[in-house]
Amino acid sequence: MEFLGGDSVVRAGLAALYPPRCACCNRVLINQSDRSGFCRSCLPRIPFRMRSQALLSWSDFGPAGYGRFYPVVCATWYRDPIRQMLLKLKFGDAPDLAHALAKILVCGWNRFGMDCRGVIAVPLHQRRERERGYNQAGLIAAAFAKQVERPDWSRHLIRNRITQRQSSLMTREERQANLHGAFSLTGWFECPEGNDARPVVLVDDVLTTGTTLTEAAIPLWRNNIPVVGLVVSSDKQTQSRLIGRNTGYRSALPETGGFGPTLNRP
């Protein structure tokens, strides 16, 4: 007879008391072999972008000359059930959803065969983070970094000042003015392996006009750190001309999404 060790007994007991549940519908997951975090009813409903729709160009919403060698990768369209999950994470005190959303990011990321040297989240101002209890982008970035086995450097990018909520501003120009100069790297940040050509991944939950992601990337670009944007969801249309261009990433295989292996190791 095989006996379970103490830790195994505890894990088995916790699994019985608190079985894994679908991140969308909260049903108990039974025999979920792919460990995606979604039940078999909800998984097909995730609005994954096709591979040809998943790359956005920094030039569509960023300053000229920045980011031209790397894209912004967007995993899904901003539709239910992802839209509801993101709103619940942001406003409904549901930090556990970050893990499932990070798996969706891994799915989108793996389709392009890219590698990175570290992960950074778009930050909230400290006061806003205290009010909310957490930075939703930070939770997603931390879970993503763990899943792809790369360091999380989010603490090195800070928001210098309180700004108006971007959702309250109507035009792109208003959003740019609101966030201009709002982000900076901490003075003691040194990106390891300075001769490493791999980019840093800048993570956010939702991309609307691209202003927030771009303004957060500028301090990295000014320090000659290449940046790939990575967002869970957006309704922004892609620039398909990016596909096939020699922009520093390898062409990827599947046309549709799936929860595949993590990125290739150098």
DSSP string, 115-135: --SEEEEPPPPHHHHHHHSS-
Q: Is residue 1 part of a domain?
A: no
22 plus 73 within the same structural domain:
no
Number of independent structural domains in the chain: 2
Cα gap 56→72, rounded to integer Å: 5
23 plus 109 within the same structural domain:
no
pLDDT at position 258 is 37
Q: Is residue 93 part of a domain?
A: yes
Cα gap 23→19, rounded to integer Å: 12
Asked if 72 and 208 count as a contact pair (C-beta separation under 8 A), the reply is no
pLDDT beyond 70 at 14: no
Cα gap 194→183, rounded to integer Å: 21
CATH number at residue 160: 3.40.50
211-222 helix and 172-179 helix, angle to the nearest 10 degrees: 40
pLDDT beyond 70 at 6: no
pLDDT at position 104 is 96
231 plus 116 within the same structural domain:
yes
Q: In 3-state terms, what secondary structure has residue 111? A: coil
| 81-90, 139-148, 161-170: segment of lowest average pLDDT | 161-170
110 plus 151 within the same structural domain:
yes
pLDDT band per the 50, 70, 90 thresholds, residue 92: very high
pLDDT band per the 50, 70, 90 thresholds, residue 193: low
Say if residue 174 is exposed, middle or buried (CB neighbours under 10 Å; 0-12, 13-18, 19+).
middle
- pLDDT tens per residue across span 93-138: 999 999 999 999 999 999 999 999 999 999 999 998 999 999 999 9
Q: Is residue 263 part of a domain?
A: no
Q: Is residue 247 part of a domain?
A: no
pLDDT beyond 80 at 265: no
- pLDDT tens per residue across span 205-262: 999 989 999 999 999 999 888 999 999 999 998 764 544 443 333 333 233 333 333 3
pLDDT band per the 50, 70, 90 thresholds, residue 59: confident
165 plus 193 within the same structural domain:
yes
30 plus 50 within the same structural domain:
no
pLDDT band per the 50, 70, 90 thresholds, residue 64: low
34 plus 113 within the same structural domain:
no
Average pLDDT, the chain: 80
Q: Is residue 253 part of a domain?
A: no
Helix (H) or strand (E) holding 148: helix 136-148
Given CA atoms 253, 258, 260, 262 in this order, what sign does their dihedral have? Answer: positive
Q: Is residue 248 part of a domain?
A: no
Q: Is residue 254 part of a domain?
A: no
55 plus 153 within the same structural domain:
yes
141 plus 29 within the same structural domain:
no
Residues 6 or more apart whose Cβ sits within 8 Å of residue 247: 68, 69, 70, 71
pLDDT at position 91 is 92
What are phi and psi for residue 130, nearest 5 degrees? Answer: -65, -40
Domain range enclosing 112: 46-242
Taking the model in full, what pTM does it have?
A: 0.81
Q: Which long-range contacts (CB under 8 A, 24 or more apart) does 193-196 make?
A: 193/117, 196/117
Q: What is the CA 158 to chain-centroid distance, rounded?
A: 17
Tokens 């909310």 locate to 132
Q: Is residue 2 part of a domain?
A: no
147 plus 40 within the same structural domain:
no
18 plus 129 within the same structural domain:
no
153 plus 37 within the same structural domain:
no
